[in-house]
Amino acid sequence: MHTPFDPLIIRNKSLIPIVQGGMGIGVSASGLSSAVARENGVGTIASVDLRHLHEDLLAESKLNPSEEKYTRLNRIALDREITKAKADAQGSGMIAVNVMKAVKDHAAYVRQACESGADAIVMGAGLPLDLPEMTEGYHKDVALLPILSESRGINIVLKRWMKKGILPDAIVIEHPAHAAGHLGAASVNGVNDAKFEFKRVIEETFEVFKNLGLESEKIPLVLAGGMANFEKVSTALKSWGASAVQIGTAFAVTKEGDAHDNFKKTLLGATTEKIVEFMSVAGLPARGVRTRFLDSYIKRESKLQSAAKADPRRCTQGLNCLSTCGLRDGLDKIGQFCIDIQLAAAWRGEVDKGLFFRGKDPLPFGQTIRTVRETVQYLLNGTMPATAK
């Protein structure tokens, strides 16, 4: 494919400068990730609660449920998705696995991803300080990509990893004012802080590289959040010094996206006024579409927070998926709902019940569902599909 941009180089592999963001539950699984990889990009499987994609595992998880059982079944599901994605990618691109640091069993999913042959681990939703330790024994085979939002966090992670003799294969810089899902800011009010502006973070990160003697390492910087626009991609790669962009929502709504068509239509049809920031149960700000569920929750949020109390029975599934959970742990400053139930409902296309994470910015093709290939072609050379012009 012709493109005016230089390739993204990871582990000496030449790739198109596009990383597909990990989106759970089930939004980016083997179908979407392999489609992106076939275009020679980085396709990413979201590791969180993949049992929902496998009827046998979902049914088994409901029989005498336990935390250990959930983890075991989700590891099986992750292995299945990686194996299928690798086969369907036909040797092209890379298959990465996104693991949220905020997930209680994140280390187990990192190990499973490595054992199952993932090409890369992408970790955010918390500082991935110990990712080198979690991937011990796989450093020769598995690329490591931390997700961070500002130069201070990048500096901290680099110093910690350097003590282990490890450097990131790329760094994803996610802008909280634009990205979907969980955001790298301390509060909802903080997502628009000037310290997150891409140009500033890139300049400060290059200064961090200089101070740490890493200029010659040429660690690629990947910009995430609001980048599904050819002009923005061009600015990022040609003017700011980024090596690639990470795209989430625009891939979630493609034909190959692993979620229900109702999920895609909900994201496609959301106007700016229907996109809102709120505090997740994981203790991080998040961004999604104002559906009936989210509208109702936001209206009741203060009341629910005032009634917060630590009670393990509030995790009605017994899943205990998060290290910190506002609902289970009685934390009155953050979310008070079961995020697993709501995200799974969204994946199934249950518009009134689901929590639909979405980026803030317009999508390339209006309300039309297009293919991964058409999306990649637009992002890399500005070509719009004939009927979308």
Query: Residue 266 above 90 pLDDT?
Result: yes
Query: Residue 324 above 90 pLDDT?
Result: no
Say if residues 259 and 369 touch (Cβ distance below 8 Å): no
Q: What is the distance between the alpha carbons of residues 105 and 89, in angstroms, rounded to a whole number?
A: 27
Other Cβ atoms within 10 Å of 40 Cβ, number: 19
If 0-12 CB within 10 Å is exposed, 13-18 middle and 19+ buried, where does residue 365 land? buried
The residue with greater pLDDT, 223 or 329, is 223
Percentage of the chain with pLDDT > 70? 99
pLDDT of residue 66: 87
Cis peptide before 25 (omega within 30 of 0): yes
Query: Residue 298 above 60 pLDDT?
Result: yes
If 0-12 CB within 10 Å is exposed, 13-18 middle and 19+ buried, where does residue 138 land? middle
pLDDT, mean of residues 165-171: 98
Q: Domains of the chain: which residue ranges?
A: 8-268+359-383, 272-347
The CATH code belonging to domain 8-268+359-383 is 3.20.20.70
Average pLDDT, the chain: 95
> Given the structure tokens 């980026």, which residue do they identify?
359
Digit-coded pLDDT (tens) for 16-70 = 999 999 999 999 999 999 999 999 999 999 999 999 999 999 999 989 888 889 9
pLDDT of residue 311: 81
Predicted model pTM? 0.95
pLDDT of residue 388: 52
Q: What is the distance between the alpha carbons of residues 352 and 142, in angstroms, rounded to a whole number?
A: 40
Digit-coded pLDDT (tens) for 71-125 = 999 999 999 999 999 999 999 999 999 999 999 899 999 999 999 999 999 999 8
pLDDT, mean of residues 211-234: 97
pLDDT of residue 389: 47
